[in-house]
Amino acid sequence: MKALTISTFGLVMLLALTPVLQTGCQTMSKEERQAKRAAKKKSKKGNKARSGPDLTPVVPQRDSYGRVNTSLPFLAITFDDGPHPTNTPRLLDILKAHDVKATFFVVGTNARRYPQILRRMIAEGHEIGNHTLDHAKLTNLSPAAVEKELGVTHQTILDATGVAPRLMRPPYGAITASQKSWIKKKFGYPSILWSVDPEDWKRPGVSVVTSRLVSGARPGGILLAHDIHKPTIDAIPAVLQQLKQRGFQFVTVSQLIALDGKG
């Protein structure tokens, strides 16, 4: 009987305190939710600041790019005419050591010979662009011939890597405005030119190639080089080191296009 009385008293007290306890819990829960939202918002801002701008490739708006309109310290370094059986793997080793992603504009005939190098490019985060089947000067060709040059190379890259190219570079930079427009409609490719040309194909020497690439670099720039020339590969470690020291970061051309008009 005594135990029942105590139990009843405890039950009565618990019932009496329930509104107070509920009010306290509701107040704390609301405060916790507000604090959680504030912390989440702060975390998102912090993560955004740490991760930098969004580099997810977008549908290019222009028919052609020689550089990208941004004040952000990003560059794209590009290599034409390969893959080369010895120079390109060595270049890939250098890029990997410096944690740099590049864009390779490959010639279809070389891509056919060395598909394993293309697969390595993709596996290591680089981008592959279309540089025609046999380095043809497009301004000398009919529309049907241009379509063949790009179409065969497109399929070669896709067959070798499983990844379709997003862009092309005309050999010698030779292309008309009407060709740029037609190629964009037919293949979805913007034509990629460049903002810095070290003329490494003239083999001016390692130090000259290095100096020209470094001194010409600006935010949003597209650097041109050729991975078929050994002296160019010799210059790349110093180029990457010096540009990084100047605060530049390297991205693929498609990632750079995503920054167009930003910053």
Is 135 noted as a catalytic residue in this protein? no
Cα torsion 99, 114, 164, 189 to 10°: value is 90
Q: What is the DSSP letter of 80?
A: E
Catalytic: 200? no
Catalytic hit among 80, 81, 200, 227? 80
Rounded to whole angstroms, how far apart are CA atoms 260 and 263?
9
Strands (E), the chain: 64-65, 74-80, 103-106, 127-130, 191-192, 222-226, 249-250
The residues with which 75 forms a beta bridge, in sequence order, are: 250
- Active-site hit among 84, 126, 131, 226: 226
Distance CA 128, CA 146 (A): 19
Distance CA(250)–CA(103), nearest Å, equals: 10
How many whole angstroms separate alpha carbon 98 and alpha carbon 238? 11
Give catalytic residues, as residue numbers.
80, 226
